[in-house]
Structure 1
Amino acid sequence: MDQIYDDLKRTLVKRGLASNNDVNDKVFYKEDELHVILEHTGSKSELTENIRKDLIKVSNGFEFKLILNGKEKTIIYPQLKDKIKEFNYQRIYKDSFIIATIITGFYICVMTILVSLINQEPETIKGISDKLLDVSALISSFVITYLTSKVLTVRQEKLNRVEKIKELSNKLTEFRRICHVVLESWQFWQPSAAAHAHGKNVAKKITFNDLQYLNVYDRRWDEIHNMMKYETYGEIKPKFVLQLATLCKSKDRYIHNRLFLGMSFLANYIYSLKELEEWRFLPDNNMFWYVFENEWQDYERSFNFQISDHDKTRITKCAGRLDNSLVNKNFSKELLVSASQIAENEIIPELTRLVKKNEAKQSFLIKYLLICFSGVFVFGVLLQVILGLFLSSLVISYISIIAVTAIVIHILISMPAILKSEITFHPKYDYD
C-alpha cells in the first residue's frame, strides 16, 4: 500500500486538490486502511473517476476509502467490470474479441432454437455433416501442425539464447563477487570504518532501491532519512555501502539468513527478470563512478587501496573473467570503475533484454488459433466419430455444424483486430 499512498498524494497535488503542505492531512492511514478526505464543489462522480483513472495509469491495483464532502465511498481497482474491459488489453483489441464472443453466443442460441423448430431432411443434414468432417479434419491438421512447429521454433529461439544468457549471468556474478570483496574488506574501509559499519547495518533493513526511488511524498521518507543518519556519517559513504550490499544480497537470505553472496556462489547461475530488476538502479546511480571518478577529490582520503594481496587477487581475477579488457589489470579505482561501467552499460541491459525474451509467454495469436482449431477438430471430427457410437447421428450432426460454424464466425470477426495488434509495435512492450 506504500506505493498507492505515494501515488495518491502525487495525484491530489497534480490536480490541485491538495498542496505539498497539507497533502499529508488529506491522505493518511487509519486502522491499516488508506483514507482520503476531500472537499469539492464540482461534480463528485467526475472527480472520483478522474482520480481513479490517474491511479490506474500508474498502479496495478488499489483500494482506499474516499471521504468526499463528508460522504464515504470505497474505491477499488480492479473490479470485475475492469477485468472484463481490460481483458488482454496489451495484445488484442478487446472490443472486437468481446463482440465476436457475443455474436458467436447469439448465433449458437438462434441456431439451437431453429433446429428445435425446423425439421430438416436427415439426408441433407448428414451430407453437410460429412463434408464438414472432411474439411475440419484437413484444415485442423494443417493448422495444428503449423502452430506446433511455430511453438517449437519459438522454443528453439529461446534455447539459442541460453548460452549467451549463461555467459552474461556468469559475468554478472563476477561483478557481484567484486562488490562482495570490496564490501567485506575492512582494510579498504578502514578510513571510513564507522560509515561502513553503519551502512551494513542499514542494509539489513532496506535495499538501495528503497533509498534510490524514495520521494518526498513517501510516508517512509522521515524514517529512512533518520535511519541513514546523514548528519553523522555523511550521505555518500553509507549510500555506497548500501548499493554494494544490495548488489551482493542473496535471494535465499531469508531462508538461510545469508545477507551476502559469498565467493562460493554457483557458476552458471541464471538470473531471473525479477532479480535483474532489483539492480535496475545501477545505470541511474553508479556509486563506483560517482565516488572513484566524478567526486574522487572529495573522497580520496576515505578509502584505502592498500588491501591484502589475497583480496587484490580475488578482485583482479574476477575482473579478468568479467571482461577481456580487464585481464592482468592491477587493483585500482580505475579497475573498479571500469568493471562497474561494463556491468552497467553492457551486462545488465543485455542480460535483462535476453531474459525478458526468454521469460515472455506465448503470443495470444498462437494460443488463440491453437484453441480455435483444436475446437474445430474436436467438434468437426472427434465428436462425430466417438459420440456417433452412442447418440443419434442427426443430433451429433447438428451439434457439429453449429459448433464449427460458430468457431469460424468468431475467428472471422476477431482475427483482423488480433492480426493488426500483433503487427503493431508498442514502445512499452516491444522495443526492450
Structure 2
Amino acid sequence: MDQTYDDLKRVLVKRGLASHNDVNDKVFYKEEQLHVVLVHEGSKSELAENIRKDLIKVSYGFDFKLTLNGKEKSIRYPLLADKIKEFNYKRIYKDAFLMATVITILYVCVMVILVSSVNKHPSQVTNISDKLLDVSALISSFVITYLTSKVLTVRQEKLNRVEKIKELSNKLTEFRRICHVVLESLQFWQPSEAQRAHGKHVATQITFNDLHYLNTYDERYDEIHGLMNYQTYGEIKPKFVLQIATLCKSKDIYIHNRLFLGMDFLANYIYSGKELVEWQFLQDNNMFWYVFENEWLVYENSFNFNISEHDKKRISKCAGRLDNLLANKDFTKELLVSASQIAENEIIPELTILVKKNEAKQSFMIKYLLICFSGIFVFGVLLQVILGLFLSSLIVSYIAIIAVTAIVIHILISLPAILKNEITFRPKYDYN
C-alpha cells in the first residue's frame, strides 16, 4: 500500500490535481485505508478512470477511496473485468476458443432435442456407439500417453537444469559477496568516504535500475537527481556505490551482513527471474570496468587497494569460487574488473536464460489437448462401461456420441488458432 501511496501522489502532481506542497494533504490514510480528497469541476467518472489508468501502468494492485466534491467513489484494481481482459489466451485464439465453445454448446442442445424426439433405429445407435468406444479408446489412450510423456520430459528437463542453475547462482552469490566487501571496506574509499556514505544512503531509497532507466520514468527525474546530489558529490562515485549496493541488495533491502552470515549462507540459493532482472544493468553499464579500466587515470587516487588482510582473504576466496582463473589472485583493480566481466558476460546472461526456461509455464496447447482427449476417453470409454450398469444401453450410447463429437468439434475449431498462437508467441529465452 505504501507504493500505491507514492504512485498516487506522483499521478496527482503529474495531472495537475495537486502540487508538491499540498499533495500529502490530499492523499492520506484513514482507518488503515487509503483516501484521496479532490475538488474537480470536470467529468468525475472520466477523472476517476484516468487516475485508474495511470496507476495501472505502475501498480500491480490497489484499492482506495476517492472523494470528489464530497462524493465518495471506490477505485480498485484488478476487478473481475480486468482479470477477464488480461486472461492469457485472449491475444490470438480468444475469438476462436469462444466460438468453438458456443458452437459446441449449441450442437449439444440440438442433439439432445433431436434424440429426445427421434428414436427410430436404436440398433444403429448402439452399433455406432460400440465403434466409437473402440476408436476413442485407441486414439485417446495414444494421445494421452504421448502428451503425458511430453509433460514428464519437460519436467525432467527442468530438473536437469537445476544443478546448472545452482552452480551459476552460487557464482553470482560470490560476486555479490565481493561487492559487499568492497562496499563495506572503509580503507578502500579514498580520500574521503563521504561519497560512499552518500551512495549507501541513496541505495536505501532507489536502485541502480531507477537511475539506469531514468528516461522511462520521467516523473521521477527531479526526485532521483535530487537524491544523487551530483553537485556536491560528483557523478561517478555515487553511481558506482549505488550499483554495488544494488547488487548487494536482497528483496530490495540493503542489509550489511546478509551475504556473510557464515560462508554457507545462500549456498545453493536459486535466484528468480525477477531478481535477475534487477541486475541486468551490469551488461551495458559496468561501473567496475568504467572506473578501474576505462577512466582509471582519473580515479586512481580515489581508491586504496591496501585494505585489511581479512577483507583481502574474503575477496580472494570469493573470487576463487567465482572462477578458477581468479583463484589466489591478489586484490587489485584487475581482479575486480575480471570478476565483474565474468558476472556481466557469462553468469547473469546464462543464468537468466536457464531460470526463464525453468519458470516458463506449460504450453496451453498441451494442457488443452490433454484435457480434451481425457474427456474423449472418459465419455467414449469409461462412462459407457460405468453408466451401462445403471442406464439403458441406448441412453448411454446417445450420451457418448454427443459428448465425444462435441469435444471433437471444439478441437477442430479451436486448434488452428491455438497452433497459430503457439508458433507466433512461443516464449523466447534470449537474454535481451
When the two structures are superposed, what TM-score results if normalisation uses the length of structure 2?
A: 0.80
Whole-Å separation in 1 of the counterparts to 2:279 and 2:4: 19
* Cα 1:290/1:36, change in 2 over 3 Å: farther
Whole-Å separation in 2 of the counterparts to 1:213 and 1:147: 43
The equivalent residue for 1:330 is 330
The equivalent residue for 1:292 is 292
The equivalent residue for 1:159 is 159
Structure 1 residue 149: deviation in Å?
Answer: 1.3
Whole-Å separation in 2 of the counterparts to 1:242 and 1:353: 26
The equivalent residue for 1:260 is 258
Kept after mapping to 2: 8 A contact 1:35/1:64: no
What's the CA shift string for 1:252-293, capped at 9, x where partnerless?
Answer: 979xx7753114424332222222123233224322223223
* Cα 1:194/1:59, change in 2 over 3 Å: closer
Kept after mapping to 2: 8 A contact 1:168/1:347: yes
2:383 corresponds to which letter in structure 1?
L
What's the CA shift string for 1:112-146, capped at 9, x where partnerless?
Answer: 22222222433222222211111111111100010
Whole-Å separation in 1 of the counterparts to 2:51 and 2:204: 36
Structure 1 residue 189: deviation in Å?
Answer: 2.7
Structure 1 residue 411: deviation in Å?
Answer: 0.2
Is 2:118 the counterpart of 1:118?
Answer: yes
Whole-Å separation in 2 of the counterparts to 1:252 and 1:274: 11
The equivalent residue for 1:194 is 194
Structure 1 residue 88: deviation in Å?
Answer: 2.2
Paired positions, count: 422
Whole-Å separation in 2 of the counterparts to 1:286 and 1:252: 20
Is 2:307 the counterpart of 1:307?
Answer: yes
Aligned 1:210-225 pairs, distance under 5 A = 210-214=210-214, 215-218=217-220, 221-222=222-223
Kept after mapping to 1: 8 A contact 2:35/2:66: no
Whole-Å separation in 1 of the counterparts to 2:38 and 2:141: 58
Structure 1 residue 211: deviation in Å?
Answer: 4.4
**3-state DSSP of counterpart to 2:282:** coil
2:97 corresponds to which letter in structure 1?
F
The equivalent residue for 2:404 is 404
**3-state DSSP of counterpart to 2:283:** coil
What's the CA shift string for 1:352-396, capped at 9, x where partnerless?
Answer: 111100111110111011000001111111111112222333322
Whole-Å separation in 2 of the counterparts to 1:168 and 1:374: 40
Kept after mapping to 2: 8 A contact 1:36/1:65: no
Structure 1 residue 66: deviation in Å?
Answer: 10
Whole-Å separation in 2 of the counterparts to 1:423 and 1:4: 41
1:175 corresponds to which letter in structure 2?
F
Kept after mapping to 2: 8 A contact 1:104/1:406: yes
What's the CA shift string for 1:277-327, capped at 9, x where partnerless?
Answer: 232332243222232233334432222111123322322332233234434
The equivalent residue for 2:128 is 128
**3-state DSSP of counterpart to 2:119:** coil
User: Bigger shift: 47-56 or 82-91?
Assistant: 47-56
* Cα 1:77/1:350, change in 2 over 3 Å: same
2:259 corresponds to which letter in structure 1?
L
Aligned 1:9-408 pairs, distance under 5 A = 29=27, 32=34, 79-89=79-89, 92-189=92-189, 191-214=191-214, 215-218=217-220, 221-222=222-223, 227-251=227-251, 260-262=258-260, 263-408=263-408
User: Bigger shift: 46-55 or 409-418?
Assistant: 46-55
Kept after mapping to 2: 8 A contact 1:136/1:377: yes
**3-state DSSP of counterpart to 2:342:** helix
* Cα 1:62/1:168, change in 2 over 3 Å: same
2:258 corresponds to which letter in structure 1?
F
What's the CA shift string for 1:91-110, capped at 9, x where partnerless?
Answer: 75211111111111111122
Structure 1 residue 217: deviation in Å?
Answer: 0.6
**3-state DSSP of counterpart to 1:191:** coil
Structure 1 residue 50: deviation in Å?
Answer: 10
Q: CA RMSD in A?
A: 4.2
Whole-Å separation in 2 of the counterparts to 1:79 and 1:34: 20
* Cα 1:283/1:100, change in 2 over 3 Å: same
User: Bigger shift: 238-247 or 78-87?
Assistant: 78-87
2:310 corresponds to which letter in structure 1?
H
Whole-Å separation in 2 of the counterparts to 1:34 and 1:58: 18
Kept after mapping to 1: 8 A contact 2:4/2:62: no
State percent identity of aligned pairs.
Answer: 73
* Cα 1:430/1:188, change in 2 over 3 Å: closer
Kept after mapping to 2: 8 A contact 1:6/1:217: no
User: Bigger shift: 44-53 or 164-173?
Assistant: 44-53
**3-state DSSP of counterpart to 1:340:** helix
Kept after mapping to 2: 8 A contact 1:88/1:94: no
Whole-Å separation in 2 of the counterparts to 1:107 and 1:366: 25
Whole-Å separation in 2 of the counterparts to 1:355 and 1:291: 31
Kept after mapping to 1: 8 A contact 2:283/2:345: yes
Whole-Å separation in 1 of the counterparts to 2:252 and 2:209: 18
User: Bigger shift: 176-185 or 282-291?
Assistant: 282-291
Kept after mapping to 1: 8 A contact 2:356/2:429: no
Whole-Å separation in 1 of the counterparts to 2:342 and 2:111: 65
1:371 corresponds to which letter in structure 2?
I
Kept after mapping to 2: 8 A contact 1:92/1:422: no
2:392 corresponds to which letter in structure 1?
S
Whole-Å separation in 1 of the counterparts to 2:4 and 2:172: 29
What's the CA shift string for 1:34-93, capped at 9, x where partnerless?
Answer: 79999999xx9999999998987887667899999xx99987665544544543247752
* Cα 1:129/1:7, change in 2 over 3 Å: farther
User: Bigger shift: 326-335 or 398-407?
Assistant: 326-335
Whole-Å separation in 1 of the counterparts to 2:420 and 2:428: 16
